[in-house]
Amino acid sequence: MFLVPERAAPRRHHPLATAARGVVAAGVAAAVWGTLIERQLFTLRHVTMPVLPAGQGPLRMLQLSDLHLAPWQSRKQRWVRSLAALAPDLVINSGDNAGHEQALFALRHALEPFAGIPGVFVHGSNDYYGPMLKNPLRYLREPSQKSTRTPNLDNEALTHFFMDDLGWLNLNNSAARLTVADSILECVGLNDPHIGYDRADQMAAQLAEVRAEPAAGPVTTLGLVHAPYRSALNTLVDAGATALIAGHTHGGQVCIPGYGALTTNCDLPRDQAKGLSTWQHNRRAAFLNVSAGLGHSIYAPVRFACRPEATLITLVPAVL
């Protein structure tokens, strides 16, 4: 007589335990994707703004924003350099270039191919202050606060590099008129309102001087600011801007698919954290492009559902 051994009863997996393991696996995969892969997937976004007078354009503008460049980020440097092959009519740098106290040499290397191409720029907080370790969860509750530190970046050297080596115009609380291709552009800009450096009165005074000289033809007004706070955008619209260019938000940096950005780190509505939209103020409307930017703080090296980007903005005649 043979005894047949009893089969062990199959182990039952509790549904909650299975679900928990799935959540952990998804979290690990998302962390790997965001910290090692997506933050390196630099992309060029294309935008069209119909703001030019009839018969002008097209005019191609390359917006570079929020590089947060550190000396060892050679892949980012190579990618930015490659954008010079686009041969844009105008380069717009909307601030937050430095991601490290020793970033200037890397910035020179990344941006030197754009020397001789017309350009304009404003600064962001990280053109004055180097990055510091912060609790990232604070950004979900409120915008980061104005720094009480002493500026520790060489902003003067950065400004001289932009102006003297690249030939770009400084629009920090200023205004300028320039002819690009066959279009006359009136550019107005504010220094970073995120740290209280914006001075609308200085910009207005400079704009009055620019407008005291009659233009040779129809003018298109561009407004530039790093951080798109409502008050800053309203100031630029009041100055006549029909195209607004900004950065700062990182597009949320960490987004939820189907929901979007969790924060803009300013008072801009969350659904305008990146990309092209419209801004209305005092019965005037302007196109607004907010760049998701190319970088991140070295203390928060992650991007999720929000690829780093530069933007090629094409201005074309307005549709009447």
Give the CA count within 13 Å in the CB-facing half-sphere of 9.
3
CA torsion sign for 136, 137, 139, 145 is negative
Tell me, what's the pLDDT at 139? 60
Nearest C-alpha neighbor of 187 from the set 103, 141, 268, 122? 122
Average of per-residue pLDDT across 223-229:
98
Tell me the sheet residues that pair with 277.
288
Q: Which residue has the higher pLDDT, 31 or 80?
A: 80
- Summarize pLDDT for 113-172 with one digit per residue, the tens: 999 999 999 999 999 999 988 766 666 556 766 666 789 999 999 999 999 999 999 999
| pTM (2 d.p.) | 0.90
Tell me, what's the pLDDT at 12? 63
- Summarize pLDDT for 74-109 with one digit per residue, the tens: 999 999 999 999 999 999 999 999 999 999 999 999
Strands 169-170 and 309-317 come out as: unpaired
Give 122's DSSP letter. -
Say whether 300 sits in a helix, a strand or coil: coil
Q: Which helix (H) or strand (E) holds 316?
A: strand 309-317
Give 39's DSSP letter. G
Tell me, what's the pLDDT at 33? 72
Cis peptide before 58 (omega within 30 of 0): yes
Backbone phi, then psi, for 169, in 5-degree steps?
A: -95, 135
Average of per-residue pLDDT across 60-84:
98
